[in-house]
């Protein structure tokens, strides 16, 4: 993809080739890991799944892990395991991908959006507390961009009211909160392995938990609600026998995907260190700018830096966010926006959610741009982004 010449500036773009905001990094070791599975007896429901789950559990410090076809499927499974159903309410952040709320709807429950902290962009515990009712069943905090939410306050609220905490850590593999690894803290934690995430299985997701009951429900839910465990069956007709005990789904990850995940996980610390390095380069380049706000980082947590988001000070710029965004694209910088607040999406508007219910999230959305950040970048790529941002901001300065 090429943006061509930047008409408002003239001349050539900063980059000759398009730089995406995110992309997987696959090496020969990854490829060989997949080939080995393709040459084995099991392409699905085989040993690679159990190995991948065990290695993620070990990495995060959780007792159990259950792999799914996607992060969305994993969230759906977590909502089922938590007993969420019709008449229940679940509080989550509006500043996230739609899946964080859709999983609640899948179970017939009602998503309730609490506003974000304007510094961290994560769910604000004070706004969360204001949304709790007698119907509240669970909380789904989102570790937005890789920075952990304020879990202590949320878990304290949850324990007092017997609520389930399901962490959406799609952005936060390798992140830490008060020296504890994300994945070992809440009742259940979801990770995503989409290609733009820290490691990839192509598509894929996973739940970690320390609760044996949740673990068993998750495993059964991802496979049609079927069990072959004699200890859990009502009858046993013989070695072939199985029981479908509730309506589950086919959410099974393949061994092909798990093999890629196992290989990618060996490089996770290197990948995260690169992301941290590139984020620090952005911070240093933009920290004194009066035209953009760089991401705030809490001292209580350690981000794994899935996204790098700048917020424009539009009052100091003569262009709109759209104009600045399009100008960066013409510089061949693959910017993006994460995210449109979920309650503003047409489907949720049709459900009756109103504009104005989460003003901090809505204001942030109008100002934010996501810059490229992924382990396959080079330092020169980062410098190109910095040059392009400065070039465009200078042009649109008042």
Q: Which residues are marked as active site?
A: 197
- Distance between CA atoms of 165 and 128, rounded to whole angstroms? 12
**Is residue 374 a contact partner of residue 23, using CB atoms and an 8 Å limit?**
yes
Residues forming a β-bridge with 188: 166, 209
Q: Which of 170, 174, 123 is nearest to 150 (CA)?
A: 123
- Distance between CA atoms of 202 and 254, rounded to whole angstroms? 11
- Distance between CA atoms of 297 and 145, rounded to whole angstroms? 11
C-beta neighbour count of 50 within 10 angstroms: 14
Alpha helix positions (H), 242-378:
255-265, 268-286, 321-330, 346-350, 359-367
Place of tokens 């400065």: 390
Phi then psi for residue 359, to 5 deg, are -60, -35
CA dihedral 327, 332, 338, 341 (to 10 degrees): 40
């Amino acid at each position: 993809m090429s943006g061509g010449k930047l008409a408002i500036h003239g001349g050539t773009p900063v980059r000759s080739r398009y730089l995406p905001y995110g992309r997987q990094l696959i090496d020969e070791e990854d490829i060989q890991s997949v080939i080995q599975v393709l040459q084995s007896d099991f392409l699905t429901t085989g040993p690679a799944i159990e190995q991948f789950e065990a290695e993620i559990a070990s990495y995060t410090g959780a007792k159990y892990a259950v792999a799914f076809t996607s992060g969305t499927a994993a969230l759906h499974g977590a909502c089922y395991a938590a007993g969420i159903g019709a008449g229940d309410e679940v509080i989550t952040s509006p500043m996230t991908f739609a899946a964080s709320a859709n999983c609640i709807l899948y179970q017939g429950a009602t998503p309730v959006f609490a506003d974000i902290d304007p510094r961290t962009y994560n769910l604000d515990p004070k706004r969360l507390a204001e949304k709790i009712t007698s119907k509240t069943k669970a909380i789904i905090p989102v570790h937005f961009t890789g920075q952990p939410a304020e879990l202590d306050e949320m878990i304290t609220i949850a324990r007092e009211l017997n609520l389930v905490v399901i962490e959406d850590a799609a952005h936060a593999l390798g992140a830490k909160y008060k020296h504890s690894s994300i994945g070992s803290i809440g009742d259940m934690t979801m990770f995503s392995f989409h290609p733009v995430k820290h490691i990839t299985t192509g598509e894929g997701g996973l739940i970690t938990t320390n609760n044996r009951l949740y673990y068993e429900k998750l495993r059964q839910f991802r496979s049609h609600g079927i069990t072959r465990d004699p200890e859990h069956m009502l009858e046993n007709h013989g070695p072939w026998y199985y029981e479908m005990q509730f309506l589950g789904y086919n959410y099974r990850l393949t061994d092909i995907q798990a093999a890629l995940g196992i290989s990618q996980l060996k490089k996770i610390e290197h990948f995260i260190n690169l992301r941290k390095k590139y984020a620090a380069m952005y911070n240093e380049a933009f920290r004194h700018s009066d035209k953009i706000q760089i991401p705030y980082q809490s001292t209580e947590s350690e981000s794994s830096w899935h996204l790098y988001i700048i917020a424009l000070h539009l009052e100091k710029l003569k262009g709109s966010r759209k104009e600045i965004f399009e100008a960066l694209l013409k510089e061949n910088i693959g910017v993006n926006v994460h995210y449109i607040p979920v309650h503003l999406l047409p489907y949720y508007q049709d459900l009756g959610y109103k504009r104005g219910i989460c003003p901090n999230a809505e204001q942030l959305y109008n100002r934010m741009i996501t810059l490229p950040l992924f382990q396959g970048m080079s330092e020169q790529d980062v410098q190109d982004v910095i040059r392009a941002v400065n070039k465009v901001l200078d042009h649109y300065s008042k």
